Amino acid sequence: MAQRLFFTSLFVGAFLGSGHPALAQTPPLDAAAAAVAVAEIRQTIDTAWKEVQAYDKAGGTPGAADHPALKWHATLWTYREQHPGTQAAARATADGIRLLVRGQFWEQAHARIGAVGVDDTAWERLSAAIYEEGSTRKDFAYTIATLSKVAETTTIPTIKSAVLLDIGRARRRLGDLAAAKESFEASRSAAPGSASSEEADRVLYEITRLSVGLPAPTFSAKGRNGKTVDLATFRGRPVVLVFWATT
Amino acid sequence: MNARYGKDVVFVGISVDINLDRLDTFIKDKGISWAQLGDGKEFSGPIPMLYRPNGTPTLYVLDRAGKIVKRLDSAEKIEETVQPLLSP
């Protein structure tokens, strides 16, 4: 029921938003107004990413003064400052910083990250941006240090789960599987039912059941031709499982 | 692949097609002789749930003992992955 109400308000929000852009200027008084603001900021964010992609495609240089990430970051950061504590501001914050990371403006990105409080819901999205930075730079020291500090001090379970997930991903990339597992388990139990917790569960399954060297999960099922295929009966011969589709 | 290694290597296809008629017709038309599974449940069938393919194709190569040797997201490197498993 709560979920249905949420979608209804999103729809109403989108409808109102299309004809009355001035509404976004007023502070969000209810869920519908907040949804309008989120829809509008998402549109701005979409436009920003399209420009950045076009810039990259045209052979633009990361870190260059004419990089569109700078302009859009400024727009989104101004929005954050004008609408503190809102859902839309959380998106603006996270994507504003992701844009800086994409443009490889590391120092600017770090300064902004340092300004986001540990209980700011922007962390739910920001966390992945900091993982992306480590991934791009092939150095996860900053990623792990920054996210660990948030994990230790935040009081919001969904933030804790999100940052632990990305700490786990960083440790996994570094080849430290034991530490990665620990982080994923902590992420899973920090906020059961949240998107991060479910992703952590998925990754843990992959690590514990599908890693190289582990016995492949067995199955027995009837084939399309009616003959039973039992994986265990193929011992002694290598097997290739092919997941495919006709289209 | 199956024609060349079919005697030494077991190939099992797990189709994530929803339309099983289409799948069966495809198998028949192409004369695919290796084992084919498919339950029309896309990625939520029991076998995809066990192996969690992110898309198609996803290949798992298992050694003689049934252990996972490699997960591949294309058939490109299948020969070089399977070849070392064949030497006695």
- Count of alpha carbons within 13 angstroms of residue A49, beta-carbon side: 11
Beta strands in chain A (DSSP E): 220-222, 228-230, 239-244
Minimal Cα distance from B26: which residue of A? A246
**Helix, strand or coil for residue B45?**
coil
CB atoms within 10 A of CB B19: 15
pLDDT at A66 over 70: yes
Contact yes or no for A243 and B37 at CB 8 A: no
Q: How confident is the model at residue A62 (pLDDT cuts 50, 70, 90)?
A: very high
pLDDT at A168 over 90: yes
- Would you say the C-alpha torsion A97, A102, A106, A107 has a positive or negative sign? negative
Confirm or reject contact between A175 and chain B (CB < 8 A): no
Domain of residue A205, residue span: 118-212
In this predicted structure, what is the pLDDT of residue A9?
41
pLDDT, tens digit, for every residue of B21-79? Answer: 999 999 999 999 999 999 999 999 999 999 999 899 999 999 999 999 999 998 888 88
The CATH number of whichever domain residue A160 belongs to comes to 1.25.40
The CATH number of whichever domain residue B14 belongs to comes to 3.40.30.10
CB atoms within 10 A of CB A122: 23
- Count of alpha carbons within 13 angstroms of residue B57, beta-carbon side: 17
Task: Return the HEC string of A176-225.
Answer: CHHHHHHHHHHHHHHCCCCHHHHHHHHHHHHHHHCCCCCECCCCEEECCC
The answer to whether residue A231 is domain-embedded is: no
> Over pLDDT 90: what percentage of chain A?
85
The answer to whether residue A95 is domain-embedded is: no
Domains identified in chain A, total number: 1
In this predicted structure, what is the pLDDT of residue A29?
63
Minimal Cα distance from B78: which residue of A? A240
The answer to whether residue A175 is domain-embedded is: yes
Averaged pLDDT, A97-118:
96
User: Among A174, A218, A183, which Cα is nearest to A203's?
Assistant: A183
The answer to whether residue A130 is domain-embedded is: yes
Mean residue pLDDT across chain A: 90
Domains identified in chain B, total number: 1
Domain of residue B8, residue span: 2-86
Q: Are A88 and A40 in contact (CB under 8 A)?
A: yes
pLDDT at A94 over 60: yes
Interface test with B, best of A212, A240, A247 (most B CBs within 10 A): A240
Which residues of chain A does B41 touch, with a Cβ-Cβ cutoff of 8 Å? none
Averaged pLDDT, A77-99:
96
Averaged pLDDT, A131-146:
96
The answer to whether residue A13 is domain-embedded is: no
In this predicted structure, what is the pLDDT of residue A25?
53
pTM for the structure as a whole: 0.76
